Amino acid sequence: MSDKMLVHRELFDEVMVPNYSPSKVIPVKGKGSRIWDQQNNQYIDFAGGIAVNCLGHCHPKLVQALTEQGQKLWHLSNTMTNEPALRLAKKMTDATFADKVYYANSGGEANEAALKLARRWALDNYGEEKTHIIAFKQGFHGRTFFTVSVGGQPAYSDGFGPKPGDIYHAEYNNLDSVKALISDKTCAVVLEPLQGEGGIISPTEEFIKGVKELCNTHNALLVFDEVQTGVGRLGHLYAYMGLGVTPDILTTAKALGGGFPIGAMITTTDIAKHLKIGTHGSTYGGNPLACAVAEAAFDTINNAELLKAVGQKSERFKQALEAINAKHNLFSEIRGKGLLIGAVLTEEYKGRAKELLLFAMDKGLMTLIAGANVIRFAPSLVIPDGDIDAGMKLFEQAVEKFLQS
């Protein structure tokens, strides 16, 4: 079979497991916040690979890091360490509350490690009864069986047989619901410091600080899933930095590699010591290629000027959405922080977010949804203002078409 075989959307149905239903558009090239498909149609990217492409497509610093490392060393095994992994870990610990880093390949794997660590920490310190994990309805933490069970969306976890036990779900932003579940048997409370898949829901100050206090009272670990909110997405290097609450364990992925697969769990020395040699591992976790690209992405984003600009671009996004809404009265709320923004459909258009996404794609704009009622935007953190303005013009055209449908 030729390397240059003709590839078309129908080939997906022929050769791929049918758990996805991708767009008919097949992108072949990206640059900055623009993408081109097989027919050379151009799209503005407000989706960012679901908050992954934090520096857009083919950012020169990431291309350089990938090219240079690709000519040096790709993979070892964890019987050895490597320079990019150690440099990145040092930079991450210097910039955060954490002392120690564990590498994985994805957010789901980072969360799996966090959950296993929390259980092992509790077992070592308090005995076999302290196994309860509290998470939140509409939360999302990955697709491994453990993480999907902890995630609060039964549609993703049902239908695969018996689930891991001792997992309980409270209501986000409802502190009383956490109080009703937490006890001295709780080993960890796991949450997103802004719910992404659940609809772009920001935590109230009372809620997030109250959860931390409850964890302290009951000797439970607070685990922040920052897979989507981390690495500059909300205008801070990590979202916890803007909340006045420090977790015990934090997970990071998506934007960490700027598009190259990598995940990490970070924590303190005292907690980390419970993952002794042999208790957990990953064949590819911490490989030099991923870590070299992630180091370049981390260096670029861990910059006060860039992070400040995220807030400015956020305001530009929200003002444009509010202006569109003032004319068309389609959204009940524009919410979110930084460049993770949700536009919530009014009751009249409830359940039709996917339709609006498809109209936007037809106009040349890539967006996301967060549930059936919310259009989600997660563009590059360095998207030019001109691309924001141009994309919003396309979005308004899509809104007009949607309202006529």
Q: What is the pLDDT of residue 15?
A: 95
What are the per-10-residue average pLDDT scores of the chain (405 residues)?
76 94 94 97 98 98 98 94 98 98 98 98 98 97 96 93 96 98 98 95 98 98 98 98 98 98 98 96 96 98 98 98 98 97 97 97 97 97 98 98 95
CA dihedral 243, 62, 281, 231 (to 10 degrees): 0
DSSP 141: -
Provide the residue ranges of all domains of the chain, joining segments of one domain with +. Answer: 9-58+304-404, 73-301
Beta strands at 100-104 and 331-337: parallel, antiparallel or unpaired: unpaired
Per the rule left: phi > 0, alpha: psi between -120 and 50, beta: everything else, 370 is beta
Nearest to 56 by CA among 212, 232, 262, 238: 232
CA 167, CA 181: separation in Å to the nearest integer? 10
Q: What is the pLDDT of residue 9?
A: 94
**Secondary structure class of 26 (helix, strand, coil):** coil
The CA-to-CA distance between both ends of the chain, in Å, stands at 44
CA 185, CA 130: separation in Å to the nearest integer? 4
Beta strand ranges found along 253-367 (DSSP E): 263-267, 331-337, 340-345, 365-366
CA 372, CA 352: separation in Å to the nearest integer? 6
- What is the CATH number that goes with domain 73-301? 3.40.640.10
Nearest to 57 by CA among 14, 77, 27: 27
- What is the CATH number that goes with domain 9-58+304-404? 3.90.1150.10
Q: What is the pLDDT of residue 4?
A: 72
CATH fold match for the domains 9-58+304-404 and 73-301: no
Q: What is the pLDDT of residue 6?
A: 84
Question: What is the layout of strands, in order, in the sheet containing 42-45?
Answer: 27-31, 34-37, 42-45, 365-366
Per the rule left: phi > 0, alpha: psi between -120 and 50, beta: everything else, 49 is left
Cite the active site residues.
140, 225, 254
**Cβ–Cβ under 8 Å, residues 342 and 376:** yes
Beta strands at 132-136 and 186-191: parallel, antiparallel or unpaired: parallel
Helix/strand/coil percentages in the chain, nearest 5: 40, 20, 40
Nearest to 272 by CA among 143, 103, 53: 103
Nearest to 98 by CA among 271, 307, 217: 271
Q: What is the pLDDT of residue 1?
A: 44
